[in-house]
């Protein structure tokens, strides 16, 4: 964000324009800047630090369309005091934002390749900007598969947008761990969708977001299909606090997740991901 990195710790106030319910504990917030000129440019995969006055600050991936210059969108699940306060923010109220920070999905590396996007739970949020980018430039990409896993159908994000994604030739597949009455989709972990997709594994690129355990098994399943580890990219979340690599809370091996990530080639951090208690 052109919260210029000269002042990376400076929180800028923004206004909540919309607060849309995604599920019982998840909301999508549209944030606007009082001065539209302050609206930062950002790239898919980056995150901001959202600050609720009196509650605290958390990192949240940007989940909107990078081409939109009027608003910046985040999808947040209420899992702690700060995220709950963000989810409860009323339209018109103010919160603070720093950023954007971190690395982006290498969408340019996907041009002329098959793409597999794998999301678990709220992990779909950091991948939605990639979908917008693909849809805006669909002819640049070959087959695109989106595989989404969730515990139950009610918590699947962005259900209303999925027909639009399919109309852009994206193979959208959903699966849940536990079906509820009326569910007609797949039942089973997201890894079981991987053998089913059409894929040129020899040069496919995959972006994966979810808890690390999920990502580990997804990586195994993709590797079994023949996708090279150096074409697998993951988004990591590890205790990010300052967002600029100063505090060290998010250090993993040689990398700071906030500054060098959150997007990494899996092969880059693979040795560190298997070390316990790191």
Partner 1 sequence: MEKDIEALLTEHPFFKDMTAPYKALIAGCGKNVRFDAGQLLAKTDDPANEFFAIRHGRMSIELHSPERGPLILQTLEAGDIVGWSWLFPPHRWKFDVRAVEQVRAISFDGQCLRGKCERDPAMGYDFMKRFARVFMERLEATRLQLLDLYGNVSR
Applying CB under 8 A, among 36, 56, 91, 185 the residue interacting with partner 1 is: 185
Give how far the C-alpha of residue 39 lies from the chain's centroid of Cα atoms, to the nearest Å: 20
Per-residue contact flags (x/-) with partner 1 for residues 124 to 153, judged by CB under 8 A: -xx----------------------xxx--
Q: Is 184 in the site for partner 1 (CB under 8 A)?
A: yes
What is the three-state SS of 128-176?
Answer: HHHHHHHHHCHHHCCCEEEEEEECCHHHCCCHHHHHHHHHCCEEEEEEE
CB of 71 to partner 1, least distance (A): 19
Please select the residue that binds partner 1; options are 189, 223, 225, 270, rule is CB under 8 A. Answer: 189
Task: Compute the CA torsion angle 208, 210, 214, 220 (nearest 10 deg).
Answer: 10
Of the pair 110, 118, the CB lying nearest partner 1 is at: 118
Q: How far is CA 18 from the centre of its chain?
A: 20
Distance CA 273, CA 30 (A): 34
52 binds partner 1 (CB under 8 A): no
Report the run of H or E that residue 255 belongs to, with start and end: strand 255-256
**Token digits for 75?**
């999808």
89 lines the binding site for partner 1 (CB under 8 A): no
60 binds partner 1 (CB under 8 A): yes
The CB-of-223 to partner 1 minimum distance in angstroms stands at 14
Least CB distance to partner 1 at residue 36 (A): 26
What counts of helices (H) and strands (E) characterise the chain?
Answer: 6, 15
The neighbour count for residue 235, using CB atoms within 10 Å, is 25
Q: In sequence order, which residues have a C-beta less than 8 Å from that of residue 160 and are 6 or more positions away?
A: none
Contact with partner 1 (CB under 8 A) among 55, 162, 179, 229: 179
- State the CB neighbour count (10 A cutoff) for residue 3: 20
Does 186 interact with partner 1 (rule: CB under 8 A)? yes
Q: Which of 11, 158, 217, 270 forms a contact with partner 1 (CB under 8 A)? A: 217
Q: Is 158 in the site for partner 1 (CB under 8 A)?
A: no
Taking CB under 8 A as the criterion, the residue among 69, 138, 159, 196 binding partner 1 is 196
Judged by the rule CB under 8 A, the positions of this chain that interact with partner 1 are 47, 58-61, 76-77, 79-80, 83, 120-123, 125-126, 149-151, 175, 177-179, 181, 183-192, 195-196, 210-211, 213-214, 217, 237
């Amino acid at each position: 964000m052109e919260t210029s990195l000269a002042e990376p710790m400076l929180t800028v106030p923004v206004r909540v324009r919309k607060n849309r319910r995604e599920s019982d504990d998840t909301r999508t917030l549209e944030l606007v800047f009082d001065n539209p000129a302050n609206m930062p440019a950002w790239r898919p995969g980056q995150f901001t630090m959202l600050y609720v006055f009196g509650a605290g600050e958390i990192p949240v991936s940007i989940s909107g369309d990078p081409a939109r210059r009027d608003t910046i969108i985040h999808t947040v699940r209420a899992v702690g005091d700060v995220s709950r306060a963000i989810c409860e923010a009323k339209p018109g109220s103010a919160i603070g934002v720093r950023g954007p920070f971190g690395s982006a999905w290498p969408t340019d590396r996907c041009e002329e390749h098959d793409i597999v996007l794998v999301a678990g739970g709220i992990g779909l949020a950091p991948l939605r900007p990639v979908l917008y980018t693909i849809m805006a430039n669909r002819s640049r990409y070959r087959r695109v598969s989106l595989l989404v896993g969730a515990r139950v159908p009610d918590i699947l994000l962005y259900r209303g947008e999925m027909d639009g994604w399919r109309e852009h030739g994206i193979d959208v597949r959903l699966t849940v761990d536990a079906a509820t009455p009326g569910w007609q989709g797949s039942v089973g972990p997201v890894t079981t969708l991987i053998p089913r997709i059409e894929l040129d594994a020899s040069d496919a690129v995959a972006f994966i977001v979810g808890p690390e355990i999920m990502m580990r098994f997804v990586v195994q399943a993709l590797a079994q299909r023949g996708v090279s580890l150096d074409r697998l990219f993951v988004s990591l979340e590890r205790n990010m606090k300052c967002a600029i690599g100063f505090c060290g809370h998010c250090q993993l091996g040689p990398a700071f997740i906030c500054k060098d990530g959150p997007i990494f080639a899996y092969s880059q951090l693979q040795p560190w991901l298997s070390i316990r208690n790191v």
